[in-house]
Amino acid sequence: MIRAITGLGLEDIVAKRQDSLYESGKRGESRVKYKINKGQDFVVGGYTPGNPFDAVIVGYYDGDKLLYAGKVSAGFVPHVRREVISRMKLLETYVCPFANLPEKNRRTQWALTREEMKNCIWLKPELVVQIEFTEWTPDDHLRHAAFAGIRQDKNARDVMREPG
């Protein structure tokens, strides 16, 4: 069933008990939603400050250019957040590594404008992370992205946008 849903490009499936009744606007225990996420590796090029950070700023390589894909704030538990910030602190720089920033206007919540970039802390693009997300937006940003782990076995220059 999951293969069929994925093959159709759908993002979730809802399962229900056979004897359950539909109740408008209510979510009962008789129904379960299973999300089908995409995932791939991304390069961390910066972060937004917080406690100790709010979101990582990720992208992928297209030739020699690192392209911005999105900000990711979900998926971090406290001990992982501490590990990620300790790695990021060693890579801090004053130069934005993304070739396609700043974006001209804020059409979506995932955009990074010149004004928003003033709060960003930039990194040398060396840290590779795995991110899960539901889809790419029409503006080539990640939708509903969540951190899934650090990739220590992958070179940042090898991270490209995967098809699909």
**pLDDT-derived band at 27, boundaries 50, 70, 90:** low
- Note the pLDDT of residue 54: 95
Average pLDDT (145-153) is 95
Is residue 29 within 8 A of residue 46, CB to CB? The reply is no
Name the strand (E) or helix (H) holding 83. Answer: helix 78-89
Q: Which two tokens stand for residue 142?
A: 């990640």
Average pLDDT (49-65) is 96
Within 10 angstroms of residue 94's Cβ, the number of other Cβ atoms is: 6
Count Cα atoms within 13 angstroms, Cβ side, for 57. 28
Query: What does the pLDDT look like over 6-25, one tens digit per residue?
Result: 566 666 667 777 887 777 76
Which amino acid, one-letter code, is at 128?
V
- Note the pLDDT of residue 134: 87
- Note the pLDDT of residue 5: 63
7 phi/psi in degrees, rounded to 5: -60, -30
54 phi/psi in degrees, rounded to 5: -90, -50
Residue 122 pairs in a beta bridge with 46, 93
pTM of the model: 0.81
Assigned architecture for domain 37-158: Beta Barrel (2.40)
Residue 125 has pLDDT above 60, yes or no: yes
Residue 56 has pLDDT above 60, yes or no: yes
Query: What does the pLDDT look like over 73-87, one tens digit per residue?
Result: 999 999 999 999 999
Q: Measured in whole angstroms, how far is the alpha carbon of residue 95 from the centre of its chain? A: 22
- Ordered by start, the domain boundaries in the chain are 1-36, 37-158
Query: Which of these, 62, 37, 33, lies nearest to 159 by C-alpha position?
Result: 62
Alpha carbon distance 23, 36 (integer Å):
24
